[in-house]
Amino acid sequence: MITAQGTVPGSELYSAKAQKSLTGQVAGESGVIDKKPPSSDDPDKEKSTVSISNAARKAVEHDPANASALGYEQFMPTYDGFSAAAIAVGVSDPGAEPFSSGKTFDQVAIDARASLDKNYQKLDDIGKTYRAESANATDRNSLVGELDRRALYAVVSNEGGLFTKDEQALAQSKMSQQQGLAMGLYSGPSSEQDKFFDPFLGDTAQKFKAGIQFFDQVSNEEKANSIDFAIQRASLQQGYEGMTRDRGETPEDFSTDHPLVNLILLALDSANGNLENQSPVGIVSDAEDLRNQPWFANYTDRLDNVMSETRDKYLDKS
């Protein structure tokens, strides 16, 4: 699976070395994920998969409506007086807007800037002065914990030019953590890992399905402008469909009207089976990276128009 924004530990769902194909087959020809997304505290620790019966799978199948009961906030520790509730709710409901509701995107960015500045001062006041180069998980969660996913994306995309590279990387790592947890992949402090329950019990196809459903709920701004969104959404769909068919089942229909996702799906389907054209080149984080992918070569002349169509579809022009 292709990932984007792999700039700091914990900021990518899978490492570049794990990107063996564009179908989400991370751990080789079997298509089984055998690595968890890197956490900020333990980036290299591996997590084994679990083999279970179909009956057991159905018994514990993920129910998004009850996801909040899994207590995601415990995997995002903060200091007293701080909260990561806004980020935690974004695991089960990435479209939730406890911070950004009713605001234009530029106002979201302004308010996110104010939230960060306030929390820098609060951390300083309790003797936990924030230093990006040495910040631990509690420091980072305390700094950005008030931001919902839409606000995190305002930071990642540097809306209004208000945010530093370190702040953008931190916001990206929190968005990746949300995605990982939603897909049943642990991301958080090693000390809390024993409390995490994979609701899919190692079923990779179901993890990919959960990833699709997760991305379909994110903000219009993210859908309109994020290459990372389009790459992940397309590769998750291709991976889910391929794995489901490989075990003799019919995949659910997750077709989308997202123009860029559909263009990437065309490119992925065209490259499928051609190992030379299928291999990604580095991390795809922007449109230029996408143009440079061998598997996308036949579609580069359509990219600008499709990106413009995508923005028109999801951004309010009024």
| Proportion of the chain in helix, strand, coil states, percent, rounded to 5 | 55, 0, 45
CA 246 from centroid of its chain's CA atoms: 25
The first and second tokens of residue 102, run together, are: 């009713």
The predicted-structure confidence for 214-254, as pLDDT tens digits, reads as follows 999 999 999 999 999 999 999 999 999 999 999 999 999 99
Q: For the chain, how many residues are written? A: 318
Q: Against a cut of 0.85, is the pTM above it?
A: no
Q: Report helix angle 165-182 to 137-144, nearest 10.
A: 100
Torsion angle, alpha carbons of 279, 187, 203, 94, to 10? -90
Report whether 272 contacts 240 (CB < 8 A).
Answer: no
- Cβ-contact 72, 127 below 8 angstroms: no
Span 144-161, pLDDT tens digits: 999 999 999 999 999 999
Q: What parts of the chain have a pLDDT lower than 50?
A: 1-69, 318
pLDDT of residue 70: 53
pLDDT (0 to 100) of residue 298: 94
CA torsion sign for 236, 43, 147, 82 is: positive
Confidence (pLDDT) at 65: 41
Contact 117, 109 (CB under 8 A): no
Q: Decide: 115 and 171 in contact? Cβ < 8 Å.
A: no
